[in-house]
Amino acid sequence: MKQKGNDNINMPKMAVEIGGLTIKNPVMTASGTFGYGEEYSLNVDISHIGAVIVKGISLEPRIGNPPPRIIETPCGMLNAIGLENPGVRVFVKDKLPFLRQYDVAVIVNIFGETVDEFKQVVEILSSAAGIHALEINISCPNVRKGGMVFGADPDMAYEVTKEVKRSTDLPIIVKLTPNVTDICLIAKSVEDAGADAISLINTVTGMSVDIEKRIPHLKNITGGLSGPAIKPIALRMVWQVVKQVKIPVIGIGGIISARDALEFLIVGARSVQIGTANFINPCATMDIVRGIEEFLAKNNIADINELIGTLNEEGTL
Ligand SMILES: Cc1cc2nc3c(=O)[nH]c(=O)nc-3n(C[C@H](O)[C@H](O)[C@H](O)COP(=O)(O)O)c2cc1C
Residue 25 has pLDDT above 90, yes or no: yes
- Going by alpha carbons, the residue nearest to atom 14 of ligand 1 is 32
Q: What is the DSSP string of 24-86?
A: SSSEEEPTTSSTTSGGGTTT--GGGSSEEEPSPB-SS-B--PPSP-EEEETTEEEE-----B-
Mean of pLDDT values over 18-40:
97
Atom of ligand 1 nearest to the CA of 53: 17
- Going by alpha carbons, the residue nearest to atom 29 of ligand 1 is 32
Q: Does ligand 1 lie within 6 Å of residue 165's CB atom? A: no
Can you give the pLDDT at residue 149?
75
pTM of the model: 0.96
Angle at 11 between CA 266 and CA 132, to 5 degrees: 65
Q: Does ligand 1 lie within 6 Å of residue 253's CB atom? A: yes
Q: pLDDT tens, 176-186? A: 999 999 999 99
Can you give the pLDDT at residue 10?
75
Q: Does ligand 1 lie within 6 Å of residue 65's CB atom? A: no
Question: Which conformational region is residue 198 in: left (phi greater than 0), alpha (psi within -120 to 50 degrees), or beta?
Answer: beta
**Mean pLDDT estimate for the chain:** 94
* Total Cβ atoms within 10 A of residue 261: 26
CA distance 238 to 199: 9
Mean of pLDDT values over 234-239:
98
Binned at pLDDT 50, 70 and 90, residue 2 comes out as very low
Cis peptide before 183, with omega less than 30 degrees from 0?
A: no
Q: pLDDT tens, 185-235? A: 999 999 999 999 999 999 999 999 999 999 999 999 999 999 999 999 999
Q: What are the CA-CA distances from residue 284 to residues 13, 135, 147, 296 (Å)? A: 20, 21, 28, 18
Q: Does ligand 1 lie within 6 Å of residue 112's CB atom? A: no
Can you give the pLDDT at residue 238?
98
Q: Does ligand 1 lie within 6 Å of residue 252's CB atom? A: yes
DSSP tally for the chain: helices H, then strands E? 10, 16
- Compare 1 and 316 and report the one with higher pLDDT: 316
316 Cα to the center of ligand 1, angstroms: 33
Can you give the pLDDT at residue 258?
98
- Compare 230 and 147 and report the one with higher pLDDT: 230
Catalytic status, residue 283: no
Q: Does ligand 1 lie within 6 Å of residue 218's CB atom? A: no
Choice among 75, 140, 184, 283 that is catalytic: 140
195, 174 Cβ separation under 8 angstroms: yes
Residue 92 has pLDDT above 70, yes or no: yes
- Compare 139 and 272 and report the one with higher pLDDT: 272
CA distance 139 to 297: 36
Binned at pLDDT 50, 70 and 90, residue 143 comes out as low
Q: Are strands 76-79 and 222-226 parallel, antiparallel or unpaired?
A: antiparallel
Can you give the pLDDT at residue 150?
87
3-state secondary structure of 6: coil
Can you give the pLDDT at residue 142?
59
Mean of pLDDT values over 249-262:
98
Binned at pLDDT 50, 70 and 90, residue 315 comes out as confident
Which among 83, 202, 231 is the best mutation to test ligand 1's pocket, defined by most ligand atoms within 8 Å of the CB? 202
Mean of pLDDT values over 238-257:
98
Binned at pLDDT 50, 70 and 90, residue 265 comes out as very high
121 Cα to the center of ligand 1, angstroms: 20
CA distance 84 to 121: 15
Q: What are the CA-CA distances from residue 84 to residues 52, 140, 176 (Å)? A: 18, 12, 20
